């Protein structure tokens, strides 16, 4: 029986055979033209008119030489065009048409960029309205989509330690050879112990979910916003996973127990590391009961989220649902520089809130924001975000995060356990709160800023 290879070769030989006589004729014509040109060149020095005539004749003859190249190109094109039809015909005749592969090629490695496909891209939070944020889904190789089993840890605290980490990927801009780190919303990367992976569907395990902001001077953000989804074409150069923070690596020091409380101070898109940590511990929104077996040992996680306004706040519905599902283990406070009234939401505000409903609290109603770290800030929230049939609320303050807020929240109660503070956000915010990182960006640098002034220790603070 003929194979696809035999069929292709036979069709190719037929196509070439039809052109061979013509190619031979043109080859002889080219040889004659070349000899004429060689013999006419000496006469060119003796007789201008004669050489002109000979040169013209030679040119006319030589001008036919590209025809052989044209025929070769035509033959090659014919082979390329005919081959798919031949293979398709062969498959129909023999009933052996190959089925399309559902696996995604490529690898995910920490130190080597590998191409991965962009599965989907949509504006965030409202796909129908252009914004500075996009929600992207990157396809992972099939080999990375296996959930790890928490049950292999006999000590519940060991399981929690493994979940206490935040991991990122790096995406490269090929033409400029620059890369930037992005934190996926859910840790579906190789070696994950996240509860969000255990509670994910089989299709979700093969995806990396990102929220990417487009900055005017950000090459990577602009490139990712322009990228067009194509599940079959790996187009994004990705490496990872890379640990942004790991409790065991950075703060455990080999002997310290799991902290009783983790406070994450975030700003802007810095909320995505906080969100990943929450889903590492408690699973995806709506996945109630994922961590119930070890929930009593879980640290309480408090998110202090600073944003310009409601419109630019990310993941509020998801954060609220996590707080609703996990009771007193998760709390979220939102700090916005500008707030509308509870009944004066713009379309963009409403999109960011999703199903959440803002309600006035009767607290401070001043229209201007308080300067950063001012001690004159009111401690009362202006709004509360809630949803139907849930008791959880997100208080919203019309202020930046101030020293007064941090002092009230971080002052330890008598007899309480260890509190760990993570800071994630723009460089200016991190510098003001905890002091700058080292010049190379690889080490923490000394603790400074507001957190040092209110008495926190170096070992209890980590700058993301």
Residues of the chain with pLDDT under 70: 1-67, 80, 82-106, 143-156, 251-255, 288-296, 342, 362-378, 441
Please write down the HEC assignment for all residues of the chain: CCCHHHHHHHHHHHHHHHHHHHHHHHHHHHHHHHHHHHHHHHHHHHCHHHHHHHHHHHHHHHCCCHHHHHHHHHHHHHHHHHHHHHHHHHHHHHCCCCCCCCCCCCCCCCCCCEEEEEEEEEEECCCCCCCCEEEEEEECCHHHCCCCCHHHCCCHHHHHHHHCEEEEEEEEECCCCEEEEECCCCCCCCCCCCHHHHCCCCCHHHEEEEEEECCCCCHHHHHHHHCCCCCCCEEEEEEEEEEEEEHHHHHCCCCCCCCCEEEEEEEHHHHHHHHHHHHHHHCCCCCCCCCHHHHHHCCEEEEEEEECCHHHCCCHHHHHHHHHHCHHHEEEEEEECCCCCCCCCCHHHHHHHCCCEEEECCCCCCCCCCCCCCCCCCCCCCEEEECCCCCCCEEEEECCCCHHHHHHHHCCCCCCCCEEEEEECCHHHHHHHHCCCCCCCCCCCCCCHHHHHCCCCHHHEEEC
- Which pLDDT score is estimated for 84? 58
Q: Choose among 225, 107, 250, 227: nearest CA to 169.
A: 107
Residue 213 counted as an annotated binding residue: yes
Strand-strand pairing, 330-336 and 300-307:
parallel
- Which pLDDT score is estimated for 17? 54
- Which pLDDT score is estimated for 334? 96
Domain residue spans of the chain: 4-94, 102-250, 259-464
Under CATH, which architecture does the 259-464 domain have?
3-Layer(aba) Sandwich (3.40)
- Which pLDDT score is estimated for 27? 53
Q: Tell me the pLDDT tens digit for each residue of 127-158.
A: 999 999 999 999 998 766 565 554 455 566 77
- Which pLDDT score is estimated for 331? 95
CATH class for the domain made up of 102-250: mainly beta
Q: Tell me the pLDDT tens digit for each residue of 183-218.
A: 999 999 999 999 998 888 889 999 999 999 999 888
């Amino acid at each position: 029986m003929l194979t696809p290879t035999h069929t292709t070769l036979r069709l190719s030989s037929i196509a070439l055979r039809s052109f061979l006589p013509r190619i031979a004729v043109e080859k002889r014509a080219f040889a004659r033209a070349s000899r004429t040109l060689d013999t006419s060149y000496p006469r060119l020095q003796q007789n201008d008119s004669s050489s002109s005539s000979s040169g013209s004749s030679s040119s006319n003859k030589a001008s036919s030489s590209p025809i052989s190249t044209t025929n070769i190109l035509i033959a090659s094109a014919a082979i390329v065009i005919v081959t798919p039809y031949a293979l398709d015909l062969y498959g129909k005749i023999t009933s052996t048409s190959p089925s399309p592969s559902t696996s995604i090629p490529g690898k995910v490695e920490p130190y080597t960029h590998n191409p991965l496909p962009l599965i989907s891209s949509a504006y965030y939070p409202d796909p129908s309205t252009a914004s500075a944020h996009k929600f992207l889904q990157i396809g992972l190789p099939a080999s990375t989509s296996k959930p790890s089993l928490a049950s292999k840890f006999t000590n519940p605290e060991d399981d929690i330690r493994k979940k206490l980490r935040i991991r990122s990927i790096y995406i490269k801009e090929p033409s400029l050879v620059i890369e930037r780190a992005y934190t996926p919303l859910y840790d579906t990367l190789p070696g994950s112990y996240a509860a969000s992976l255990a509670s994910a569907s089989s299709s979700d395990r093969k995806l990396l979910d990102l929220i990417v902001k487009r900055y005017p001077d950000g090459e990577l953000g602009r490139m990712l916003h322009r990228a067009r989804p194509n599940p079959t074409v790996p187009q994004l150069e990705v490496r990872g996973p890379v640990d942004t923070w790991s409790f065991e690596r950075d703060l455990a020091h080999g002997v310290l127990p799991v902290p009783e409380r983790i406070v994450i101070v975030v700003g802007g898109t810095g909320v995505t590391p906080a969100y990943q940590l929450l889903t590492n511990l408690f699973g995806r929104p709506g996945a109630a009961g994922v961590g119930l077996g070890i929930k009593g040992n879980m640290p309480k996680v408090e998110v202090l989220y600073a944003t310009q306004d409601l419109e630019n706040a990310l993941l509020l519905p998801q954060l609220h649902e996590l707080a609703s599902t996990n009771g007193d283990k998760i709390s979220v406070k939102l700090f916005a520089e500008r707030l509308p009234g509870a009944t004066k939401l713009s379309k963009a505000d409403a999109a960011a809130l999703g199903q959440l409903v803002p309600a006035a609290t009767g607290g401070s109603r001043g229209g201007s924001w308080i300067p950063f770290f001012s001690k004159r800030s009111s401690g009362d929230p202006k709004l509360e975000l809630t949803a139907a049939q849930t008791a959880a609320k997100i208080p919203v303050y019309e202020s930046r995060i101030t020293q007064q807020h941090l002092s009230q929240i971080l002052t330890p109660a008598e007899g309480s356990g260890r509190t760990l503070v993570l800071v994630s956000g723009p460089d200016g915010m991190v510098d003001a709160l905890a002091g700058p990182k080292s010049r190379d960006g690889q080490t923490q640098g000394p603790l400074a800023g507001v957190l040092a002034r209110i008495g926190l220790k170096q070992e209890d603070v980590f700058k993301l």
